């Protein structure tokens, strides 16, 4: 349930509403919009009555949310959620580009790629220090050592860091380095971890699980929002179907569906989605054309020798060509590719 109040409602009226919600064994969540203030309610809301709130001072409207997910639904908040980083944003007009190698392999490899990306104007750098791998015998990431390298990339090059966390034990150290904490597809329903990450109040990149319906993805996001953390970026990265021509089936249909059902930003990872580098640029273009707020793309300067997922990585050269095409495409879908401003002078 949702209580709509004026943005300029007196604090005492707002607190009275929140107090009443708590008395009724539910939890209030303040969700400020540009013209209204919404108080989202979660908990056993089926026990609440609209009349309990309709006559309270400053209350303009009481709305039932029909979806299973509440706080992340478009019904709860009509305006797009926009996440801010210094001068940059995700979820608004700006097209967000996250790029980098699958894994931190060595200090040299990481800096090599990070520097090339910075030169192109990229702001958000991705690379895994902890890697979830289906076999225990394959490269599992440099772990702590990898985080140290990422911290150095951050301090020396000024790039923002997006990196995955696999468990509670390493969450603190990942959170110290990461500007955006990534939850991978395999952990999309690891609710314990999600809740714990959500409670840190840092931006979270939540990837769709391989067998997750869009509704499931939004319910997982709800676990984060229920911690009063709305800094959530959803990520479509391919689902499992019978088709074997591509590694996964990138489900771009999820983009307009999520835009309709939720106020959260949605980006697309075509690298995992198709799993073969030579089809990544086409699917990246398609993702933006259907309304994605951004892209997450694997870039490696030496794909053949990458320790993980090399076959789905673009070379910096191919990636630059893609950026140039995206720059042409963005304005057609009312987006803007805003690259790091001193890019050329590096």
Torsion-angle region of 27 (φ positive above 0: left; ψ -120 to 50: alpha; else: beta): beta
For residues 329 and 288, is the Cβ–Cβ distance under 8 A?
Answer: yes
Identify residues 51-80 at the interface with its own copies (CB under 8 A): 68-70
Binds its own copies by CB under 8 A, chosen from 199, 213, 228, 301: 213
Q: How far is the CB of 225 from its own copies (least distance, A)?
A: 9
User: Three-state DSSP class for 54?
Assistant: helix
Torsion-angle region of 279 (φ positive above 0: left; ψ -120 to 50: alpha; else: beta): alpha
User: Three-state DSSP class for 80?
Assistant: coil
> Does residue 133 belong to the site contacting its own copies (CB under 8 A)?
yes
d(CA 227, CA 25): 17
User: Three-state DSSP class for 270?
Assistant: helix
Backbone angles phi, psi at 149, to 5 degrees: -65, -40
Size of the site for its own copies (CB under 8 A): 71
Identify residues 218-257 at the interface with its own copies (CB under 8 A): 219-220, 222-223, 226, 239-246, 249-257
d(CA 292, CA 275): 19
Q: How far is the CB of 227 from its own copies (least distance, A)?
A: 9
d(CA 323, CA 281): 9
> Does residue 282 belong to the site contacting its own copies (CB under 8 A)?
yes
Binds its own copies by CB under 8 A, chosen from 210, 302, 320, 339: 210
Identify residues 81-110 at the interface with its own copies (CB under 8 A): none
Q: How far is the CB of 119 from its own copies (least distance, A)?
A: 24
Q: CA distances (Å), 101 to each of 14, 30, 306, 341, in order?
A: 47, 38, 8, 23
> Does residue 260 belong to the site contacting its own copies (CB under 8 A)?
yes
> Does residue 190 belong to the site contacting its own copies (CB under 8 A)?
yes
Binds its own copies by CB under 8 A, chosen from 8, 35, 51, 137: 137
Considering the complex, state which of residue 66 and residue 244 has its C-beta at the smaller distance from its own copies. Answer: 244
Q: How far is the CB of 133 from its own copies (least distance, A)?
A: 7
Kindly indicate which of the ranges 6-14, 54-62, 104-112, 133-141 contains the residues binding its own copies, using the contact rule CB under 8 A. 133-141
Considering the complex, state which of residue 3 and residue 114 has its C-beta at the smaller distance from its own copies. Answer: 3
> Does residue 166 belong to the site contacting its own copies (CB under 8 A)?
yes
């Amino acid at each position: 349930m949702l209580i709509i109040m004026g943005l300029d409602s007196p604090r005492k009226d707002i607190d009275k509403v929140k107090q009443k919600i708590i008395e009724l064994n539910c939890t209030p969540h303040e969700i400020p919009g540009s013209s209204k203030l919404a108080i989202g309610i979660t908990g056993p809301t089926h026990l609440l009555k609209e009349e309990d709130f309709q006559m309270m001072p400053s209350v303009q409207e009481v709305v039932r949310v029909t979806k299973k997910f509440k706080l992340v639904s478009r019904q709860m908040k009509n305006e797009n959620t926009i996440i801010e980083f210094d001068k940059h944003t995700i979820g608004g007009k700006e097209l967000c580009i996250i790029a980098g190698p699958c894994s931190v392999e060595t200090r040299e490899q990481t800096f090599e790629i990070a520097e090339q990306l910075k030169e192109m104007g990229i702001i958000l750098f991705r690379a895994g220090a902890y890697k979830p791998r289906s076999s225990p015998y394959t490269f599992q990431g440099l772990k702590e050592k990898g985080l140290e390298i990422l911290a150095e990339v951050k301090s020396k090059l000024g790039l923002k860091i997006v990196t995955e966390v696999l468990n509670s034990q390493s969450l603190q150290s990942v959170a110290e380095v990461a500007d955006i904490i990534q939850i991978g597809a395999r952990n999309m329903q690891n609710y314990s971890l999600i809740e714990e990450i959500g409670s840190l109040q840092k931006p979270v990149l939540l990837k769709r699980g391989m067998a997750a319906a869009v509704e499931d993805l939004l319910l997982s996001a709800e676990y984060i929002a229920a911690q009063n953390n709305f800094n959530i970026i959803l990520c479509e990265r391919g689902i499992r179907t019978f088709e074997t021509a591509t590694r996964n089936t990138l489900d771009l249909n999820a983009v307009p569906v999520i835009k309709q059902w939720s106020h959260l930003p949605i980006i697309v990872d075509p690298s995992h989605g198709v799993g073969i580098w030579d089809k990544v640029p086409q699917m990246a273009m398609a993702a933006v054309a259907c309304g994605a707020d951004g892209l997450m793309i694997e870039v490696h300067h030496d794909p053949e020798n990458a320790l993980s997922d090399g076959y789905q990585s673009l070379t910096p050269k191919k990636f630059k060509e893609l950026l140039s095409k995206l720059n042409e495409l963005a304005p057609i879908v009312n987006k803007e590719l805003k690259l790091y401003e001193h890019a050329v002078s590096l």
